[in-house]
Copies of this chain bind each other. A is one copy, B any other.
Amino acid sequence: MSKAAIRPRGAGRRSASWTQDPEGVRRSILDAARLEFVENGLSGARVDEIAARTATSKRMIYYYFGDKEGLYRAVLEEMYERIRAFERGLDLASLEPEEAMARLTGFTFDYHAENPDFVRMVMIENIHHGRHLATSDRIATLNLSGIDVIREAYGRGVASGVFRPGIEPIDIHLTISALAFYNVSNRASIRQVFGHDMGAPEALARRRESAIDTVLRMLRR
């Protein structure tokens, strides 16, 4: 500190050598940033804190992501890409309509329960009115298509007579999402206000069954 202050700019000692690793550095920054943003939100997150969690320096954050918001956007985009990959991994077309819907609901519920980081990030982005989703090209071309899966299974169910007609696929999706999302997003307030722990294994299991049952009852004749 004392000597550094009188050394000419940028003339400080540095570790003898290092190896370049652009992808590793990028990855390291993104991981650190995810932790920090998910915990503290966009304005609550500290760039210095992210840098500290990283193997590299703050300088690199700005080198690769431009500014704090650019980094935030990158984290957000990656998380949406992951859930999209999850959705594409679902293979429900071969199942009976009821079974397909039950599985979709269960898997969606599980994905949210197992990825609270994703839930928190979506909450944070909604607080910001979806401003960063709106300005993201990667998100624009993402084509989140849980809806297509739903449309297909629901259509088959209506055709075979097990489901009642007249429901919009988007409404099915919203119901499934609401039940899965809320269970994670509002865990803290529910616990404080009702003393009920939605994260407890038995509560979670009961809630999962309830969600599946609720969706099926909503769809049946």
Contacts and interface: CB of A to CB of B under 8 A. Distances in A.
Contacts of A80: 193
A189 interface: yes
A56 interface: no
Interface residues of A, number: 53
Contacts of A179: 175, 178-179
Contacts of A43: 40-41, 43-44
A124 B129 CA distance: 13
Contact of A182 (B124, B178, B198, B217): B178
Contacts of A188: 125-126, 128-130, 133
Interface stretch (A16-24, A25-33, A95-103, A206-214): A206-214
A127 B218 contact: no
A135 B128 CA distance: 26
B130 A120 contact: no
A170 interface: yes
A122 interface: yes
A94 interface: no
A105 interface: no
A178 B170 contact: no
B122 A171 contact: no
A218 B214 CA distance: 5
Contacts of A63: none
A162 interface: no
18 contacts: A41-B43, A120-B127, A122-B189, A123-B126, A126-B188, A127-B127, A133-B192, A134-B192, A139-B193, A147-B194, A170-B194, A175-B179, A175-B210, A181-B186, A213-B218, A214-B217, A214-B218, A217-B217
Given A44-B44, A171-B210, A214-B214, 11 more contacts: A41-B127, A80-B193, A123-B126, A124-B127, A130-B189, A133-B189, A170-B196, A175-B214, A178-B182, A178-B186, A217-B218
